[in-house]
Amino acid sequence: MKKTPINQQLVDQNIAKLRIDHIGQASIREIVALVNLVEEAGSEKFIRMEMGVPGLPPAQVGTEAEIEALRSGVASKYPMMDGIKPLKQEASRFIKLFMDVDVSPAGCIPTVGSMQGTYAALLVASNVDAKKDTALFIDPGFPVQKQQMLVMGHQYETFDVFNHRGAKLREKLEGFLAKGNINSIIYSNPNNPSWICFTEEELQIIGELANKYDVIVMEDLAYFGMDFRKDLYTPGKPPYQPTVARYTNNYVLFVSSSKIFSYAGQRCGMMIISDSLFNRDYDNLKIRFKSNTFGNAIVLRALYTLSSGTSHSAQYALAAMFKAASDGQFNFINDVKEYSEKAKIMKSIFLKHGFYIVYEKDGDELVGDGFYFTIAYPNMTGEELLANLLYYGVSAITLKNTGSEKEGLRACVSHVQRSQFDDLDKRLEQFATDFPVN
């Protein structure tokens, strides 16, 4: 056995201790627990790329507004179910100025993180039409949303978009939609885990097909504005955050505060429902939820029963962050650019040692540098790569965990410190020496 930076027995013992049968199928939380145990037992720190948590301080404008709201006594009062007025108004304004999309404040609804938003929206969308009992995930994707489907007992289908980019996406999607059982299409853009961003052509295809087959598009914008190839911080001026909302009115957008404002801990995100979908009547919603419109089913049935609203003080924080951004006083995109700069350096270190990027392009353009990137190593499955890299003190999750058909890993840059880049370089150099590519 070759000597590696991390004691191999220590890794193996802890894998056994956590009862992880296949490291390639281990959840993000299992990898986190494993690396914590190994780090506690040994002296070496890992290059931790497994968890997508913000690595920056929270936006100060939010923190200040939240403290002020708490001081003013909001903690004793239940917030309105559909959100406080200033937040609804600022969210609507933010969407107009950074996406050029018009949505009334009524359809801008705070949720306990985007997580709760997708849960509620998937729940209601699964019930709009008795014949449409299946959601369609454009993968790779965020694994927790599939867990939401599992918990609800709802069905979904999925495909890896890797081989179906550009015009090819139409045929692939129609293959599913033509069956008539799909109620919604879900994806994140920029994408977790691959950081691909759909092109305008692809968004147009999704929007047109949503109209043709009457399905709801759920566009998860957890990384809003973070395609750093373009500067998307120009309130009221193009370029805007790309969106399917330009091509269909059947949409729900999810704007999370977790990454763009580094405000994950307060669990407050926004669900943005188009005016026409918000007000649309569905017969089946009357039967299933005793509610008429999509908007009422979301607010007065799903969100009411899940949590009866969203943290009162955090709503003030989010309202203040949206307002400062829209007023041109808070360039939130600049604040998170550090992720892109780190990604550029980390990718170059991986490439130097024989790794390659799995999801590499959007159309003719290379994917941007951002919160995540994907890597693989010749002649190794994703599972083998992860198992081996753990001995070298590098942790990540396998792409298989995200609905990808490709072999490889998702690397998240947020918790890797710049001071660790030298270590990363040395460890990967040793890895490449120990696993030479013929």
Residues forming the site for ligand PLP (CB under 6 A): 52, 113-115, 142, 188, 192, 220, 222, 256, 258, 264, 269
- Closest approach, Cβ 417 to ligand PLP, in A, equals 20
Closer to ligand PLP by Cβ: residue 83 or 393: 83
- Closest approach, Cβ 1 to ligand PLP, in A, equals 36
- Closest approach, Cβ 256 to ligand PLP, in A, equals 3
- Closest approach, Cβ 410 to ligand PLP, in A, equals 11
Closer to ligand PLP by Cβ: residue 4 or 395: 395
Q: How many CB atoms lie within 10 A of CB 324?
A: 19
Beta-carbon-side half-sphere exposure of residue 183 (alpha carbons within 13 Å): 21
Residue whose CB is nearest to ligand PLP in the complex, by number: 113
Closer to ligand PLP by Cβ: residue 312 or 410: 410
Closer to ligand PLP by Cβ: residue 244 or 387: 244
* Cβ-proximal residues to 158 (8 Å cutoff; 6+ apart), any chain: 136, 137, 138, 139, 141, 146, 403
The burial of 228, by beta-carbon neighbours within 10 Å (0-12 exposed, 13-18 middle, 19 or more buried), is given as buried
Closer to ligand PLP by Cβ: residue 114 or 274: 114
Closer to ligand PLP by Cβ: residue 38 or 196: 196
The burial of 378, by beta-carbon neighbours within 10 Å (0-12 exposed, 13-18 middle, 19 or more buried), is given as exposed
- Closest approach, Cβ 4 to ligand PLP, in A, equals 30
- Closest approach, Cβ 263 to ligand PLP, in A, equals 9
